[in-house]
Amino acid sequence: MTHSLHRSGDIESQKKDFVWFMYQTKGVNDKDIKPKALEFIAAAEAVGSENWGDVKTGPKIFYSVEEIKDRITDKSRLRGVFTRKEQVVEFLKRIKEKKTGMSVVITGVLSEVIPACKEAGVTPHSVNYSLGVWGKKDRLPDQTTLSITTMCGHHMIPPKFVKYILRRVEKNKMTPEQGALELAKYCYCGIFNPVRCAGIIRETVGEKSP
Amino acid sequence: MPAIDPEKCTGCRTCQRFCTVEAIVYEDKKCRIDPDLCTECYVCLRMKVCPEGAIHAQDLEGFYKEFQHVLSDPVETHGVTGVTGRGTEEVKTNDVTGRYRKGDVGLSIDMGRPGMGVYLRDAQKVAMAVARAGFELAPAQDTPLAALMTDLKTGKLVEDCLDYRLLSVIIEGKCKEDKLKDVLKALQAVEHEIDTVFSLGLISRVDADGRCSALDIVEAMGIPRPYRGKVNVGLGYPIAEK
């Protein structure tokens, strides 16, 4: 699936948004994955992954780390987000050292991700490049809404809910950070970036203020 | 599928805010889910969005309703591919499987996203257009949509599924680099014939700088050079290619 690939919004904001994945391959290394998954979680926690989760349980910001760890099965899919290139570099260094043999994917702006790979001493094998959105683009929501909803590529975050949260923040009923966490709960994978989202909300609401 | 109990519904319309595809309609002071628009993503059920508890699950009737749900809800695992939701393996395990080798160009055509949803009749239009241009569609063990194809060489889907709406579904496959221009031209034509959107990904082996020659073809066609990518960093142990 390509649910982390087609994020939208301001490129500078996307440069502070990296998605990490551990992937098992069916029939090859998809049995007894838990010890390896725990290595990925340990590395992610050590470098401060702002959100991560297992799609079979949910995101860290909604479930406890122990609960997610306990529920890991061979059907689990571990993934999360970083906001700084330095985290990506350190994460890759740690995972490389563990020699898990699992596939590792980092999604983000290529001018940030490729140098991070080099710094970590890993060599990109293949890339899925985003060639953008095609078709009836005039029917898409506005750019601000899309920059938030596309952080959950499975589209579990309803556009109307984004508007609702923006209104709540605008009326000082919640902070941008609280709004971002409310939205993040809907992304079961844990790849929604609450830090970037709070920044988008703050900028949007700020722009509308007199 | 999810349904709203009219006895419990107070018509507050809170649920409409949480529907991913605006499938909840308000009529006669009550909300109801339009079965033709609902993609079975189950967000309304899983997140318990109704303050009155009026939304409940009904049995999914038949293969296509179940298919619709499994592909629209990332919590579910597809029985054949073993991947959650509408997922395919694309670039994510390519270091292990060698599915895309040097000289191959893969495309992941993510129909209906971002967020618009897709009727399978539109997925069929796109699949048939690229197949005619020489694109080799991925088989059912690699991608869920192929399970509905009557013929991988044409991309035609079984007739009975065409009016089902999914949150999204991926058309995946590959061609040799010399066919890429024809396949992209086919996509440039068919994008005007569908009633939705698709997000397009181009998959390739790359050099140490993350570059590949297929991007020169893309750029020569006037398609903006991509700045985002999903990078397989090559830490998986290969089985298919050394």
Ranges A3-12, B78-87, B125-134, B177-186: which has the least confidence? B78-87
Residues from chain B that touch A5, judged by Cβ atoms under 8 A, are 199, 201, 228-230
Ranges A31-45, B24-38, B77-91: which has the least confidence? B77-91
**H or E, element range at A130:** strand A126-135
Model confidence pLDDT, tens digit, residues A49-72: 999 999 888 899 889 999 999 999
Query: Could you state, in order of their start, the residue ranges of all structural domains in chain A?
Result: 11-120, 137-208
Q: Assign residue A131 a region: left if phi > 0, alpha if psi is -120 to 50, beta otherwise?
A: alpha
Residue A21's pLDDT is 95
**H or E, element range at A169:** helix A159-170
Percentages (nearest 5) of helix, strand, coil residues in chain B: 25, 25, 50
Query: Residues of B29-66 as b/e, b for ≥16 C-beta within 10 angstroms?
Result: ebbbbeeeebbbbbbbbbbebbeeebbeeeeeeeebbe
Confidence of residue A1 (pLDDT cuts 50, 70, 90): very low
Confidence of residue B66 (pLDDT cuts 50, 70, 90): confident
Bridge pairing between strands A126-135 and B228-232: antiparallel
Does residue A24 carry a pLDDT above 70?
yes
Sorted by where each starts, the structural domains of chain B and their CATH numbers stand as 2-58 (3.30.70.20), 86-220 (3.30.70)
Beta-bridge partners for B203: A128, B106
Beta-bridge partners for A59: A53
A-B Cβ pairs (cutoff 8 Å, strict): 272
Closest in B18, B209, B223 to A158, CB measured: B18
Query: Residues of A58-94 as b/e, b for ≥16 C-beta within 10 angstroms?
Result: bbbbbbeeeebbeebeeebbbbbbbbbbebbbbbbeb
Predicted interface score ipTM higher than 0.90: yes
From residue B160, alpha-carbon distances to B112, B121, B166 in Å are 19, 10, 14
Nearest to A71 by CA among A62, A83, A63, A79: A63
Does residue A208 carry a pLDDT above 70?
no
Nearest to A19 by CA among A33, A36, A6: A6
From residue A44, alpha-carbon distances to A3, A48, A89, A97, A136 in Å are 20, 6, 11, 14, 38
Is-contact A164 A119, C-beta < 8 A? no
Closest in B22, B75, B168 to A155, CB measured: B168
Q: What is the CATH number of domain A11-120?
A: 3.30.70
Residues from chain B that touch A157, judged by Cβ atoms under 8 A, are 20
Residue B80's pLDDT is 52
Contact B197 A135 (CB under 8 A): yes
Give the gyration radius of chain A's Cα atoms.
17
DSSP B170: E
Contact B209 A8 (CB under 8 A): no
Does residue A125 carry a pLDDT above 60?
yes
Locate A51 and state its tokens.
């959100």
Mutate to test the interface with A, among B41, B45, B195, B199 (most CBs of A within 10 A): B199
From residue A186, alpha-carbon distances to A45, A153, B20, B48, B106 in Å are 21, 11, 11, 11, 31
Does residue B167 carry a pLDDT above 80?
yes
Closest in B209, B226, B232 to A131, CB measured: B226
Contact A124 B232 (CB under 8 A): yes
Burial label for B189, CB within 10 Å (0-12, 13-18, 19+), is exposed
Give the span between the Cα atoms of B2 and B40, in whole angstroms: 7
pTM, two decimals, is: 0.93
Residue A209's pLDDT is 55
Model confidence pLDDT, tens digit, residues A144-165: 999 999 999 889 999 999 999 9
